[in-house]
């Protein structure tokens, strides 16, 4: 059950109603917070970049071109995706500066939807605790690492490498915040350098400094909108892929309690990271179109990056590409594990999951070991248990789909605060950064689209699965929230009613100096 006790925990001093604590707890908490704040401007920027730039930019451009039908329409879809990511960044910066503490969406949902008490938070807790976000990139790392070594890839050696990757990332993050940040920052700089190099190479092709057989740039940009599709379903499919390529702009919100001067840092780092990645994404797409013909992109599918490297630098460059994609995937694993571990810890500190006191603790290394292990276990379960093909793809879609629902709820609630001024005053919502009503509504509409688009029957050949129903991941994703809601009904409503008590929220301070919530059973 959640952190529920019959009385106060005598080992942890209680927080008083004015926010102070008995004994020296408050001073301990403050000093510990100062010690925890190790993420500066660059670390936050690269944390966001690492999460956004995974392997999608190397694989999805051809798939998006297939949906759009033309080079010009494809680039417009990428611009639209960048605009949506920018709006989402503004929304999350507003929340991050208004509630500058770790926990991200958990804090924002709890603030926006306080009644019934803990219901929405419990539904979100079920999602964040069970989803293995880093699993797919660990699998991709294994695939490309083996390819770079010239080892034939099969399900078992790919899984073994993925397991080792997750374990190595977890050990680094468990034992040292500084080394975890150093690895993340290095890989973040590496990703930016790779995207920059591809962009420069594309510019060199366009200006004639590098010649490519067949001059694909003239074909692609001579008639950029030739072949454009008018089918709304096809454009929806393409835009859906673009938007998911930008997911990650909210990564730093999960760890704001570890950010130096979080308000100022978020206002600067998040917009810079997202705008920088957006420009590079557009430049990389232009580079691909400059060196790879439209017909080759459509026939090659997800190998467009390999085709680009082969055309510009020769066949031997494909091995280099495998190394680059593998390192990019590892950077994403590091970033995801770092942020999701903090989310797990904050869910525990809210008293919403079993063994909350244990999961909420910070280790002597200053790291949330329990939160890291929980996310590592969720990822390993996917890597080991989900077979390749439909089952694995469905699991990954189940992980990503509920985020659209969360973002719709957050942006919809913020829109209400903008429209209803009296409600904003009642909630004392006056953050130092404002996303603005147009950006908030735009982000809300975009996430409604992401929520309902997967329920529309896809065109022939565009199905997400070979054998499973196209809507399955949406149904399962919603079911995860429903399980969290059912847990809340049992824990907060049914058991107290049956056993004759009510639950009252209390605060305590753990030995590491951090506050944790528990629920005291008060007899009726």
Q: What are the extents of the domains in the chain? A: 36-452+468-492
The pLDDT score that the predictor gives to residue 3 is 57
| DSSP code at position 252 | G
pTM more than 0.85 = yes
Element (H, E) at 501: strand 501-509
What are 503's strand-pairing partners?
521
Q: What is the distance between the alpha carbons of residues 281 and 50, in angstroms, rounded to a whole number?
A: 14
Rounded Cα gap, residues 234 and 221, in angstroms:
22
Within 10 A of 276 (CB to CB), how many other CB atoms are there? 17
Q: So what's the pLDDT on residue 36?
A: 65
Cα–Cα distances (Å) from 67 to 16, 238, 287, 393, in that order, read 58, 5, 19, 19
C-alpha closest to that of 465 among 516, 371, 391? 391
Q: What pLDDT, on a 0 to 100 scale, did the predictor assign at position 506?
A: 87
> How many whole angstroms separate alpha carbon 89 and alpha carbon 343?
18
> Taking the chain, what is the end-to-end CA distance rounded to the nearest angstrom?
20
What's residue 302's pLDDT?
Answer: 57
pLDDT of residue 25: 34
Q: What is the pLDDT of residue 481?
A: 95
Q: What is the pLDDT along the chain (524 residues), one digit of tens a residue?
A: 455 544 433 333 333 333 333 333 333 333 445 556 788 999 999 999 988 998 788 878 888 898 888 999 999 999 999 999 999 999 999 999 999 999 999 999 999 999 999 999 999 999 999 888 888 889 889 888 988 888 888 888 989 999 999 999 999 999 998 899 899 889 989 999 999 999 999 999 999 888 888 889 988 998 899 888 877 777 777 888 888 889 889 999 999 988 999 999 999 999 999 999 999 999 999 999 999 998 888 886 656 888 899 899 988 888 888 898 899 999 999 999 999 999 999 999 998 888 888 888 888 888 899 999 999 999 999 898 877 777 777 887 888 889 999 999 999 999 999 999 999 999 999 999 999 999 999 999 999 988 888 888 877 766 778 888 888 889 999 999 999 999 999 999 999 999 999 989 888 887 767 778 888 899 98
Cα Rg of the chain, angstroms: 24
pLDDT at site 512: 66
CATH of domain 36-452+468-492: 1.20.1740.10
pLDDT at 228: 86
CA gap 322, 398 in Å, rounded: 27
Q: What is the pLDDT of residue 490?
A: 93
Task: For 199, list phi and psi in degrees, rounded to 5.
Answer: -65, -45
Q: Minimal CA–CA distance to 138: which of 346, 392, 404?
A: 392
pLDDT on residue 4? 53
- Output the pLDDT for position 22: 33
């Amino acid at each position: 059950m959640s952190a529920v006790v019959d009385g106060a925990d005598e080992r942890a001093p209680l927080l008083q109603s004015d926010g102070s604590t008995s004994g020296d707890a408050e001073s301990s908490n403050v000093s510990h917070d100062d010690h925890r704040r190790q993420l500066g401007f660059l670390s936050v920027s690269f944390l966001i970049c690492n999460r956004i730039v995974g392997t999608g930019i190397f694989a999805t451009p051809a798939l998006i071109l297939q949906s759009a039908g033309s080079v010009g329409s494809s680039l417009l879809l990428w611009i639209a995706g960048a605009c949506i990511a920018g709006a989402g960044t503004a929304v999350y910066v507003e929340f991050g500066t208004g509630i500058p503490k770790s926990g991200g969406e958990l804090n924002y949902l709890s603030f926006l939807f306080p009644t019934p008490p803990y219901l929405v938070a419990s539904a979100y807790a079920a999602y964040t605790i069970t989803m293995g976000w880093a699993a797919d990139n660990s699998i991709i790392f294994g695939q490309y690492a083996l390819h770079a070594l010239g080892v034939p890839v099969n399900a078992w050696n790919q899984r073994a490498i993925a397991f080792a990757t997750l374990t190595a990332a977890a050990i680094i993050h468990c034992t040292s915040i500084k080394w975890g940040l150093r690895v993340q920052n290095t890989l973040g700089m590496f990703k930016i350098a790779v995207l920059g190099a591809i962009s420069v190479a594309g510019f060199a092709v366009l200006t004639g400094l590098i010649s490519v057989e067949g001059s694909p740039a003239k074909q692609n940009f001579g008639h950029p909108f030739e072949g454009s599709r008018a089918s709304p379903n096809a454009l929806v499919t393409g835009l859906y892929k673009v938007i998911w390529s930008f997911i990650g702009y909210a990564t730093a919100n999960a760890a704001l309690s570890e950010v130096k001067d979080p308000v100022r840092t978020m206002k600067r780092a998040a917009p810079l990271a997202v705008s920088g990645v957006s420009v590079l994404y557009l430049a990389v797409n232009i580079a691909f179109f400059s060196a790879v013909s439209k017909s080759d992109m459509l026939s090659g599918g997800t190998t467009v990056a390999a085709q680009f490297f082969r055309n510009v630098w020769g066949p031997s460059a494909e091995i280099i590409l495998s190394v680059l994609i593998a390192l990019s995937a590892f950077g994403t694993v590091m970033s995801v594990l770092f942020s999701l571990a903090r989310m797990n810890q904050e869910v525990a500190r809210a008293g919403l999951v079993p063994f909350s006191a244990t999961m909420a603790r910070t280790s002597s290394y200053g790291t949330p070991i329990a939160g890291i292990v929980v996310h590592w276990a969720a990822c390993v379960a996917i890597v080991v248990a989900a077979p390749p093909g439909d089952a694995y793809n469905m699991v990954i879609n189940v992980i990503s789909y509920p985020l659209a629902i969360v973002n719709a709820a957050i942006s919809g609630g913020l829109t209400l605060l903008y429209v209803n001024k009296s409600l904003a005053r009642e909630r004392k919502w006056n953050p130092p950064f404002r996303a603005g009503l147009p950006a908030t509504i735009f982000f809300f509409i975009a996430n409604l689209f992401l929520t309902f688009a997967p329920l529309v029957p896809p065109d022939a050949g565009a199905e997400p699965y070979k054998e499973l129903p196209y809507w399955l991941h949406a149904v399962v994703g919603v079911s995860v929230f429903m399980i969290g809601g059912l847990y809340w009904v049992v824990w907060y409503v049914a058991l107290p009613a049956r056993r004759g008590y009510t639950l009252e929220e209390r605060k305590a301070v753990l030995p590491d100096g951090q506050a944790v919530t528990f629920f005291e059973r008060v007899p009726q």
